[in-house]
Structure formats: C-alpha cells, structure tokens
Structure 1
C-alpha cells in the first residue's frame, strides 16, 4: 500500500512577513503476511513492562529558595 501526504505550512516571522512552504512524502507499507502460529506461552514482547518503584524526586534536584 502506498499513501501520499502533503504538508503545507505558513508562519509569520518576528518582523511580520509570512513564510510558507510545502513538504510532500510517500509512506509505503509491505503487503500483509500470514498470521504467525499461536504458542502456549507468552513471548517477551507481550509481557507488560515492569513497574519502577521509588519514583519520588531526589533531594538533589529540588530548587532551594533564597
């Protein structure tokens, strides 16, 4: 599958004059393949990520008030 995209942009510069342009690109995806066979055990890719503990900010990163 092939999909063409066009992005047109327009901005106003600091001194007030407009600047514009256009970008075009194509996204191509491969044709779908046969579905993989199911396995009885989950793979690494399907396991949920481990949750990190102790997400409090460090004292070193806090700003000190004068």
Structure 2
C-alpha cells in the first residue's frame, strides 16, 4: 500500500508542477487539462485515505 500511496503523491506533485508551468507559459488549455488531472489524483488520494498537502508538493 505504501508504494501506491507514494505513487499517488508523486502524481499529485507532478500534476501541480505541470499546471504551474502551463499557467506560467500562458497555455491555458494545458493548465485546464493538468488541473483536471490534479483534481482526479487528489480525489483518488482522499478515497484511499492518502494525505496530500493542500497546494503543497504532494
């Protein structure tokens, strides 16, 4: 289970970074795509009792 939790946290962190980079580059379509991925990963974490820091790095 710990490998799963680590993977989810890593995907949350990656999605946050990708979202931030898309916003910084002005690619608002990509930002929306990454925001949706981030929301999905945070929801998955919550469903499995995995704690991720809000707005943090995972």
TM-score range, shorter chain: under 0.3
TM-score by length of 1: 0.16
Rg bigger for which structure? Answer: 1
Greater relative contact order (CA < 8 Å, ≥ 6 in sequence):
2
Q: From the two aligned structures, give the one with the greater strand fraction.
A: 1
The alignment's TM-score, normalised by the length of structure 2, stands at 0.17
Give the helix-richer structure, 1 or 2: 2
